[in-house]
Amino acid sequence: AGPGPLHVPFAWATGASYALEMPLQEVWLTGTANTDGSTTIDYTEGTLGGYILLEDFYAGLNAVAQATCECAGWTTEDEVYVQASDGTWSSTCPDTRACDAGSACSQSGVLCPVLPSIMEGVADIDLDSDPSAYEAFSMGLQWTAVDADITP
């Protein structure tokens, strides 16, 4: 099936109550479909692929920080990741020392300052024909023997 958009929630951390929403673009789904005559189609194995815009990726991370970093003095107006006019991204990380060790906010502290440079190397899709900065990264998920229900 596809291509089309799909929103995928990723658990921020084990046992986290907050999910990181990632909107995938141009999603393709292939796999073994089992139908039982109902309105659902069960896929017992398959591949889901598409891409995530860096802008959406960082917006999702900013939403996590805004929702979980009150312990660090963060507000719903603060943004951890900001895009410069040249297309590069930078971070202003919250001070997570006042947060509980297992909180989503404290777990983001280690990765926060280095994530823009990591993602610069991960981004592999040029959407605007400007090779100086890539705007998205490809994403692929593969599963076997786990049902994934898609209801039309």
Q: pLDDT value at position 1?
A: 67
Tens of pLDDT, residues 85-109: 888 899 998 888 888 887 778 877 6
Residue 8 confidence class, pLDDT cut points 50, 70, 90: confident
pTM above 0.85, yes or no: no
Q: pLDDT value at position 125?
A: 94
Q: pLDDT value at position 150?
A: 64
Tens of pLDDT, residues 74-88: 888 889 999 998 888
Average pLDDT over residues 8-28: 77
**3-state SS track over the chain:** CCCEEEEEEEECCCCCCCEEEEEEEEEEEEEEEEECCCCCEEEEEEEEEEEEEHHHHHHHHHHHHHHHCHHHCCCCCCCCEEECCCCCEEECCCCHHHCCCCCHHHHHCCCCCCHHHHHHHHCCECCCCCCCCCCEEEEEEEEEEEEEEECC
Q: Which residue has the tokens 């109550």?
A: 17
Picking from 25-34, 106-115, 143-152, which range would have the lowest pLDDT averaged per residue? 143-152
Q: pLDDT value at position 10?
A: 77
Average pLDDT over residues 30-34: 81
Of residues 35 and 69, more confidence is placed in 69
Q: How far apart are CA 12 and CA 22, in angstroms?
A: 11
